[in-house]
Chain A
Amino acid sequence: MHIPENYLSPSTCAVATVAMAPVWYCAVHHVREEVPREKMPLIGIAAAFCFLAMMFNIPLPGGTTGHAVCGTLIAILFGPWSAVLAVSIALAIQAVLFGDGGILAFGANCFNMAFVLPFVGYAIYSLIRSRVEGERGELLGAAIGSYVGLNVAALLCAIEFGIQPLLFTTADGAALYCPYPVWVSVPAMMLGHLTVAGLAEAGFTVGILAFLHSAVPSFGIETHAAGTSGLAPVIGLVVALVAATPLGLLATGDAWGEWAAEDLAEMVGYTPAGLEGGWEWSSLMPDYSVGALPEWVGYILSAVIGVALLVIIFRLAANLARPTVDFDA
């Protein structure tokens, strides 16, 4: 679901970025007001889960791959505004360091995965939780919320791909950017996400949520238990996920809409002009790999760097959060 560079027209990217600007502003404001300082590092760990979930590629019907996002999980644990920040920062690290998702398309990717996904997922979760009592309601809400959230995000992504050939073509009718129209992109994306990726998202969300409930009940914003104590099981889970990231390599093939320009040229018979002459960011470790070394080395290294960066960013962000001592009380 990471839209690569030059698959969207610059104007589409600009619209998405402008749409995200107020969302980011509100997110920073809300997180500063609502999240206690000692809980900020926990958002970093949640963002690390999100980063790792996006590295586990799952083979989808039709020869492409997909992945979970875990945006709904963060929204349930820390509120949807925290999820906006956490997923945005995870996406930024992926785009800048690992070339996963475009820099110009960053706004569009954030709109789909960091804004729409957690808010839709959280709304459905809250709705179900208010109807069904107890932990069953919570896990059911998390499962359905995350499934629907991911699929809505995938649908938006497919529509963004699909409107490109309708809006931007050369004089002879060839597409300038993504060459597949809506009636191709929507079924192609949704088939995989409705069947496999959505279930993976629900599985990831419910599994991690159930684990956190039993192992570290204080993880999350609603509990007021002491901050970061007793985090050992969570850190263990993160380490296990990091070690398991090479499993994401078992799925061969690219995700739908994330092909390299030459692969796309093979499929449609020409290279869209926008892709041929477009600007591209040269990241540190493109596609999570380094040089001639085995892919799994690059994958684990990327996972470690990404997770450590996210934890550091959110621990430092805690300095900017409101202090926990309330002098008015």
Chain B
Amino acid sequence: MPEESDNPIGDLPDWLTSSQDYRPGPDRDGFIMRNLLSLASVLAQLRLDDGRDGPLSPSPPVKLLLALGAILLTSLSRNYLFVLAMLAVVLVRAAMLPRAALARVTGGSLAAAGLTLVLMLPAALIGQPRSALFLATKSLVTVGITLTVALTTPKAHLTSALRQLGMPAVVILTVDLALHGIVRLGQTAQEVLVALRLRSVGTNRAKGATMGGVGGVVLVKASRLAQDSYDAMRCRGFDGSYRTGASWRPRGADALWAAGFALVLALFLYLQGVV
């Protein structure tokens, strides 16, 4: 048995007991890291699985069709009043959403409208401020509709609605896995970046290689996750076809929404004539 030393730290090597004055050199990676992190967190937020049906929601296929129609009409419209009327509809629907969904719809649509406004800034500067405002309102309305539909429909219902509308099974599978994958991709990228930042000290001279490493890890991990979830689906008997069980049953609210859409269509046709 070795003799115990008087000094409890006497066994430690010299380099560990001597004090060091290491000052890591400054590194300018704040911009890259912050941007990548915020991008990753945006991807991680693209979750579609928290949708809930409202009490007056139409059935998913009708909802999808009407939303597509409304977006199409808004984009085609050359009349500002029509876009404002659609804006009123979207605002009223959004005001009734649960608070978390409302925050996401507002954030998403405002971001889209703001981006459009910035892109259209040259038009405003050469004396066409109206068209910049017009396009910004249009993107506010269309993104608002899309997000509202996504957040008021459970993801499984969206998938079955796509199938009922005659979308090929392989497309649905790809969309399904892609949506799932994007969210996981965002989460993974976020985790890798945070881990990297926590362990990094000093100046990194090979930023390109680091970014490549992060990208590579994320890609490998993502493909493994996709393979895993596809395997899991196979294990549960998935044979590549989407059967939607009972065929589509219309709800009472469908007629109401369809009538509302007919009114919107009439307004659109009338206002296009007025311009």
A308 pairs with B88, CB closer than 8 A: yes
Partner of A312, one of B80, B94, B133: B94
Contact of A225 with B by CB under 8 A = no
Partner of B85, one of A282, A292, A301: A301
Name the A residues within 8 Å of B212 (CB-CB).
none
| Given contacts A315-B102, A316-B106, A319-B99, A308 and B80 within 8 Å (CB-CB) | no
Chain A residue, CB-CB nearest to B271:
A293
Name the A residues within 8 Å of B175 (CB-CB).
none
B84 pairs with A284, CB closer than 8 A: yes
Q: How far is the CA of A290 from the CA of B137 in the complex (A)?
A: 15
| Given contacts A290-B80, A293-B81, A304 and B92 within 8 Å (CB-CB) | yes
Contact of B274 with A by CB under 8 A = yes
Q: How far is the CA of A311 from the CA of B95 in the complex (A)?
A: 6
| Given contacts A284-B133, A315-B99, A316-B106, A301 and B84 within 8 Å (CB-CB) | yes
A290 pairs with B81, CB closer than 8 A: yes
Please report whether the interface of chain A is mostly helix, strand, loop or mixed according to DSSP: helix
Chain A residue, CB-CB nearest to B98:
A315
Contact of B54 with A by CB under 8 A = no
- Nearest chain A CB to B269 CB, angstrom units: 15
Contact of B122 with A by CB under 8 A = no
A308 pairs with B99, CB closer than 8 A: no
Binary B-proximity of A100-140 (CB < 8 A = 1, otherwise 0):
00000000000000000000000000000000000000000
Which of B85, B88, B129 is packed against the most chain A CB atoms within 10 Å?
A: B88
A316 pairs with B84, CB closer than 8 A: no
Name the B residues within 8 Å of A298 (CB-CB).
81
A305 pairs with B87, CB closer than 8 A: yes
Which of B95, B129, B137 is packed against the most chain A CB atoms within 10 Å?
A: B95
Chain B residue, CB-CB nearest to A314:
B95
Q: How far is the CA of A312 from the CA of B103 in the complex (A)?
A: 9
Interface size class of A (residues with CB under 8 A): 20 to 34
Q: How far is the CA of A304 from the CA of B137 in the complex (A)?
A: 16
Contact of A309 with B by CB under 8 A = yes
B92 pairs with A291, CB closer than 8 A: no
B91 pairs with A319, CB closer than 8 A: no
Binary A-proximity of B73-98 (CB < 8 A = 1, otherwise 0):
00000011100110110011011000
| Given contacts A315-B99, A318-B99, A308 and B84 within 8 Å (CB-CB) | no
A305 pairs with B88, CB closer than 8 A: yes
Please report which residues of chain A, range 264-319, place their CB below 8 angstroms from some CB of chain B when the two chains form the complex: 282, 284-285, 290-293, 297-298, 301, 304-305, 308-309, 311-312, 315-316, 318-319
- Nearest chain B CB to A57 CB, angstrom units: 21
Name the B residues within 8 Å of A311 (CB-CB).
95
B95 pairs with A308, CB closer than 8 A: yes
Partner of A304, one of B91, B94, B102: B91
Name the B residues within 8 Å of A293 (CB-CB).
81, 274
Please report which residues of chain B, range 128-168, place their CB below 8 angstroms from some CB of chain A when the two chains form the complex: 129-130, 133, 137
Chain A residue, CB-CB nearest to B99:
A315
Name the B residues within 8 Å of A305 (CB-CB).
84, 87-88, 91
| Given contacts A282-B129, A291-B80, A312 and B85 within 8 Å (CB-CB) | no
Name the A residues within 8 Å of B130 (CB-CB).
282
A312 pairs with B81, CB closer than 8 A: no
Please report which residues of chain A, range 313-329, place their CB below 8 angstroms from some CB of chain B when the two chains form the complex: 315-316, 318-319
Q: How far is the CA of A316 from the CA of B99 in the complex (A)?
A: 7
Q: How far is the CA of A290 from the CA of B134 in the complex (A)?
A: 13
Q: How far is the CA of A285 from the CA of B80 in the complex (A)?
A: 10
Chain A residue, CB-CB nearest to B130:
A282
- Nearest chain A CB to B91 CB, angstrom units: 4
B99 pairs with A290, CB closer than 8 A: no
Name the A residues within 8 Å of B85 (CB-CB).
301
Q: How far is the CA of A311 from the CA of B94 in the complex (A)?
A: 10
B274 pairs with A292, CB closer than 8 A: yes
Q: How far is the CA of A285 from the CA of B92 in the complex (A)?
A: 18
Q: How far is the CA of A304 from the CA of B129 in the complex (A)?
A: 25
Name the A residues within 8 Å of B88 (CB-CB).
301, 304-305, 308
Chain B residue, CB-CB nearest to A297:
B81
Name the B residues within 8 Å of A284 (CB-CB).
84, 133, 137
Q: How far is the CA of A292 from the CA of B85 in the complex (A)?
A: 15
A319 pairs with B103, CB closer than 8 A: yes
Q: How far is the CA of A284 from the CA of B80 in the complex (A)?
A: 9
**Chain A interfacial positions (CB closer than 8 Å to B):** 282, 284-285, 290-293, 297-298, 301, 304-305, 308-309, 311-312, 315-316, 318-319
3 A-B pairs closest in CB distance: A308-B91, A311-B95, A304-B88
Cβ contacts A to B, 14 pairs, < 8 Å: A282-B129, A282-B130, A285-B84, A290-B80, A291-B80, A293-B274, A304-B92, A305-B84, A305-B88, A309-B91, A316-B99, A316-B106, A319-B99, A319-B103
Additional pairs, 17, CB under 8 Å, beyond known A282-B130, A308-B92, A319-B99 = A282-B129, A285-B84, A291-B79, A291-B274, A292-B274, A293-B81, A301-B85, A301-B88, A304-B88, A304-B91, A305-B87, A309-B91, A312-B95, A315-B95, A315-B99, A316-B106, A318-B99
